[in-house]
């Protein structure tokens, strides 16, 4: 097993000193963290870019109330550089991926991160660092929504909104792997791709009314919110469930759902060692692949955010850190 290079005392990171537009993101040099009890130090090779990143950049650390300066980033793929006291599941040199500390940013836009060891899992065999860095947050969100929350079973009908997005394209594959009949919403230009990922029915949200076109659904996965919440309720059969990935506001239809004999719930993804291992098994079995729309070096994090905020990407955006991020 190749051993990691000795970790330097400082590292590069992308920080911000105030909330704002992408241009607040700047490369700085900061002290390298040390792993504490139960933690590992990971040399980052790739970091996924997620909507939570640019929302945090613009509004501040929404989940914790912390104020700048801070380093963004939740998705990590890299090499274990050191282990803290009590860690037995990893050794220096191991390749790992994870979504550590969420909803507190892991500081993944940096050369090194520390976090609890069980917030990571071994990188799936055959998956390069770039795709491993794209996977954790989006895949765990889909897994925890569909498997842990909705308990999708073979033969059920699952409606997935924004199916070509970061979470959506993985949710299509996870639902299919669970034996579901998958109905996906996306623009017509993305239908052919979604069929290759396992979608059974495609709805063009630009020209079709989903609430009129779809019926007898067991599970709806919604990452859009707003009017989609109430319209999606109309697609559910009695006993069905709407899982929202957006925090509820005063328009969230939980009471309407109860009156209609269905459920509407909000789910926030959590760090999940076992979930990552299950996701890794799907990858290794060839039943789950992550799509990477664009790569940027760490120094171009602002450009990555600008692209992400267009809402027009298919799959994920990834920052590469250091050299040779694509080595299997």
Tell me: the pLDDT tens digits for 181-213? 999 999 999 999 999 999 999 999 889 999 899
Give domain status of residue 67, yes or no.
yes
pLDDT average, residue stretch 214-227:
93
Hey, what are 217's tokens? 């659904």
Confidence of residue 327 (pLDDT cuts 50, 70, 90): very low
Q: Are residues 214 and 253 in the same domain?
A: yes
Q: For position 102, what pLDDT does the model report?
A: 92
Give domain status of residue 144, yes or no.
yes
Helix (H/G/I), strand (E/B), else coil: 3: coil
Give domain status of residue 271, yes or no.
no
pLDDT average, residue stretch 111-139:
97
Residue-wise pLDDT tens digits, 40-54: 999 999 999 999 999
44: phi then psi, degrees, rounded to nearest 5? -75, 135
Query: How would you classify the pairing of strands 76-83 and 95-98?
Result: antiparallel
User: Which candidate, 148, 138, 156, places its Cα nearest to that of 102?
Assistant: 138
Name the DSSP letter for residue 110: B
Query: Which residue range is the domain that position 152 belongs to?
Result: 140-266
Give domain status of residue 328, yes or no.
no
Measured torsion, CA atoms of residues 276, 111, 49, 40, in degrees rounded to the nearest 10: 20
Q: How far apart are CA 116 and CA 215, in angstroms?
A: 43
Residue 111: give its domain's CATH number: 3.90.180.10
Q: Are residues 77 and 122 in the same domain?
A: yes
Name the DSSP letter for residue 292: E
Residue-wise pLDDT tens digits, 45-95: 999 999 999 988 988 765 566 677 889 999 999 999 999 999 999 999 999
- Tell whether the model's pLDDT for residue 326 goes beyond 50: no
Which H or E run contains 55? Answer: helix 51-59
Beta strand ranges found along the chain (DSSP E): 10-16, 26-31, 39-49, 70-71, 76-83, 95-98, 112-116, 120-122, 157-160, 181-186, 201-204, 217-222, 236-244, 263-266, 292-297, 316-320
Q: Are residues 172 and 151 in the same domain?
A: yes
Number of domains in the chain: 2
Give domain status of residue 297, yes or no.
yes
Half-sphere exposure of residue 18, counting CA atoms within 13 Å on the CB side? 4
Q: How far apart are CA 267 and CA 244, in angstroms?
A: 6
Task: Quote the radius of gyration of the chain (alpha carbons, Å).
Answer: 20
Q: Are residues 178 and 249 in the same domain?
A: yes
Here the contacts of 54-58 (C-beta below 8 Å, separation 24 or greater) are 54/22, 54/305, 54/308, 54/309, 56/105, 57/16, 57/19, 57/20, 57/22, 57/24, 57/25, 57/305, 58/19, 58/20, 58/21
Q: How far apart are CA 157 and CA 15, in angstroms?
A: 43
Give domain status of residue 252, yes or no.
yes
User: Exposed e or buried b for every residue in 284-308, given b needs 16+ CB within 10 A?
Assistant: eeeebbbbbbbbbebebbbbbbebb
In percent, how much of the chain has pLDDT > 90?
80
Quickly list DSSP for 159-225. EESSTTSHHHHHHHHHHHHTT-EEEEEE-GGGHHHHHHTT-SEEEETTTS-HHHH--SEEEEEESS-
Q: Are residues 24 and 127 in the same domain?
A: yes
Q: Are residues 39 and 122 in the same domain?
A: yes
Q: How far apart are CA 156 and CA 298, in angstroms?
A: 42
User: Which candidate, 134, 115, 140, places its Cα nearest to that of 296?
Assistant: 134
Residue 172: give its domain's CATH number: 3.40.50.720
Q: Are residues 56 and 170 in the same domain?
A: no
The average confidence (pLDDT) of the chain is: 93
Give domain status of residue 283, yes or no.
no
Hey, what are 73's tokens? 């980033």
Q: Are residues 116 and 172 in the same domain?
A: no
In percent, how much of the chain has pLDDT > 70?
95
Q: For position 65, what pLDDT does the model report?
A: 64
Residue-wise pLDDT tens digits, 14-27: 999 998 999 999 99
User: Exposed e or buried b for every residue in 140-151, given b needs 16+ CB within 10 A?
Assistant: bbbbbbbbebbe
| Predicted model pTM | 0.93
Give domain status of residue 69, yes or no.
yes
């Amino acid at each position: 097993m190749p051993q990691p290079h000795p970790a330097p005392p400082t590292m590069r990171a992308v920080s911000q000193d105030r909330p704002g537009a992408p241009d607040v993101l700047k490369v700085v040099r900061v002290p390298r963290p040390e792993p504490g009890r139960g933690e590992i130090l990971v040399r980052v090779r790739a970091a996924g870019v997620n909507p939570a990143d640019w929302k945090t950049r613009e509004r501040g650390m929404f989940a914790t109330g912390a104020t700048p300066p801070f380093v963004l980033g939740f998705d990590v793929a890299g090499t274990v550089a050191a282990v803290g006291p009590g860690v037995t599941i990893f050794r220096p040199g191991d390749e790992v991926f994870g979504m550590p500390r969420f909803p507190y940013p892991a500081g993944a836009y940096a050369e090194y991160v520390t976090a609890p060891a069980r917030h990571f899992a071994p990188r799936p065999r055959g998956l390069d660092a770039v795709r491993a860095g794209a996977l954790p947050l989006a895949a765990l969100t889909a897994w925890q929504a569909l498997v842990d929350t909705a308990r999708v079973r073979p033969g059920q009908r699952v409606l997935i909104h924004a199916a070509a997005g970061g979470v959506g394209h993985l949710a299509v594959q996870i639902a299919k792997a669970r034996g579901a009949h998958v109905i996906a919403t996306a623009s017509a230009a993305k239908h052919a791709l979604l069929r290759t990922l396992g979608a059974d029915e495609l709805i063009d949200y630009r020209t079709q009314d989903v609430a009129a076109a779809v019926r007898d659904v067991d599970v709806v996965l919604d990452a859009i919110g707003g009017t989609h919440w109430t319209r999606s309720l109309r697609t559910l059969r009695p006993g069905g469930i709407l899982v929202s990935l957006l925090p509820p506001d005063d328009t969230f239809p939980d009471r309407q759902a109860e009156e209609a004999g269905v459920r509407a719930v909000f789910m926030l993804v959590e760090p999940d060692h076992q979930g990552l291992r299950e996701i890794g098994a799907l990858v290794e079995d060839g039943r789950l692949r992550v799509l990477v729309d664009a790569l940027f070096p760490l120094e171009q994090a602002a450009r990555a955010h600008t692209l992400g905020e267009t809402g027009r990407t298919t799959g994920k955006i990834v920052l590469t850190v250091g050299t040779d991020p694509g080595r299997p």
